[in-house]
Amino acid sequence: MDAEALSRVGVAVLGLDTTSGTPPLVTQVGVMYLGDGVISAGPFAYWVAPDAPMFEVRHKSWPEVRLAPPWSQVAEQVQLGLCDRVLVTHDAGRLDVLRSHLPDWEPVDVAHTRELVEQAWPGQPDCSLSPASALAGIKGVARVGPSAVVEAHAVALLLTVLIRRAVRTKAMNGHST
């Protein structure tokens, strides 16, 4: 799905915080909604107590994770939060982690901002989230940490820039939506 098409659908932007083990287990899910190409709701945060030793959990997350419910009690809320929206992550790997936790769930559609950045600015040496955000003129996303909410917010901001750019380019080329 291209950036211009994302301006016309409901979008759920996903951020994940995971354990350091293999396979990674979710400790927090962050979600932000976009509608008509702008952030419309969120962030929504879902904390999870993973079935993993605490040393695999990011130290700053310990207070929340220790009191959080297990994934089995959070999964339905997360699935409902993503329901009927196009899922957007920065990297495909984030979707892989979510799918491993929700094996029976299938998103309406999927887009990755990394691919959209590569289309908007071809030939960039590094399209990870921080450099891509800087390229889009978004300040303050230097070294986005593993916080799911921070990741979802950074991806949502980047996506809004990519959508505006795509809509503007389409309009300049004489196409109407």
Q: What is the pLDDT of residue 143?
A: 58
Count of structural domains within the chain: 1
pTM for the whole thing?
Answer: 0.90
In Å, the largest CA–CA distance within the chain is 57
- Domain-located, residue 177: no
- Domain-located, residue 35: yes
Task: Give the three-state DSSP class for 144.
Answer: coil
Q: What is the pLDDT of residue 80?
A: 94
Question: Can you say whether residue 4 is alpha, beta or left, with left for phi > 0 and alpha for psi between -120 and 50 degrees?
Answer: alpha
Residue 74 belongs to what domain range? 3-172
Q: What is the pLDDT of residue 177?
A: 46
Task: Give the three-state DSSP class for 54.
Answer: helix
The CATH code of the domain that includes 50 is 3.30.420.10
Averaged over successive runs of 10 residues, the pLDDT of the chain (177 residues) comes to 89 95 95 94 95 93 94 96 94 94 94 91 86 82 72 93 85 64
